[in-house]
Amino acid sequence: MDYAAPIVLAALADSAVGDPRRWHPVAGFGRGAAALERAWWAPSRLRGACYAAVCVGFAAVAGAVLGRLGTVGTAVAVWIALGGKSLAAVGESMADALEAGDLEVARELVPSLCGRDPAALDEAGMCRAAVESIAENTSDAAVAPLLAAAVGGAPGVLAYRAINTLDAMVGYRTERYREFGWAAARLDDAANYLPARLTGVLAALCGPRPRRAVAVWRRDAGSHPSPNAGVVEASFAGALALSLGGTTVYRGHTEQRPVLGDGARPSVADLRAAVRLSRRVRAAATVVAVGVAVLARRR
């Protein structure tokens, strides 16, 4: 099947309407996965691997059903997996709240971007958290789904979204999930390896400082605990002349992240610049994904 047309339709739909406010299929998948996790949880990598296999398999089968509906069904599957417009909208809303001095409204938006503890964040902390999350989720919610659709159609893109969702749910190095979430975290690392590097390249090409983005990527990305998040965060840091990383407080645990970049700490203006860069990367990734789909069909 030609996946180029569904990719274009889905990208346009995401740019026009974004995610549905209610009854989002990914949210429904998350609720089902959470219920299954409560029933199956054990401090066991094998149990966690079985859990991940069932969840991802279910998503792939759902994608196969949609794919049988042709171009429209595949486009719906890709649209379900995309989240670029919503990511940018939350980033802009947070910038508006911070600019207005309303820290409480800004804190209410933090869970929509990342899993950090909003109560532990001041204005500077929320700007940093938002920029880092926008960088990482530009890869996870835009570039990676587009590439997955280009090579795997509806089953591939929904399987990718399932993997990424499971990582966000159980892929933590906490006492509860260190063993059970191991398989989900490793699957996510593998699924995002190429998309993260494409995102890094596109951030450099689409950003105002291409050479600096590449230099910070090469110098700092390897020090990040994630093999993929480090690439995209370092690329954004260099492109925007920022310093990211440092003490990162989640609910229940704190991590010391390496510093990426050598610029200033993010401000509200930098948050808006990150949103603009994310949009440019999404547009460029759509072009790349269409090209990959066309080449794959010819081969």
Q: What is the pLDDT along the chain (299 residues), one digit of tens a residue?
A: 689 999 999 999 999 988 887 888 999 999 999 999 999 999 999 999 999 999 999 999 999 999 999 999 999 999 999 999 999 999 999 999 999 999 999 999 999 888 888 988 899 999 999 999 999 999 999 999 999 999 999 999 999 999 999 999 999 888 899 999 999 999 999 999 999 999 999 999 999 999 999 999 999 999 999 999 999 999 999 999 999 998 887 876 778 889 999 999 999 999 999 999 999 999 999 999 999 999 988 87
Contact 225, 132 (CB under 8 A): no
Considering the entire predicted model, what is its pTM?
0.94
SS3 assignment, position 248 = strand
Nearest C-alpha neighbor of 88 from the set 26, 128, 134: 134
Q: Cα–Cα distance between 219 and 244 in angstroms, integer?
A: 14
Beta-carbon count within 10 A of 23 CB? 7
- Which pLDDT does position 97 carry in this prediction? 96
Q: What phi and psi, each to the nearest 5 degrees, are found at residue 264?
A: -75, 160
> Hey, what amino acid is at 128?
R
Domain boundaries, the chain: 4-298
Q: Where are the beta strands (DSSP E) in 82-207?
A: none
- Which pLDDT does position 149 carry in this prediction? 97
Beta-carbon count within 10 A of 250 CB? 14
Q: Cα–Cα distance between 130 and 238 in angstroms, integer?
A: 16
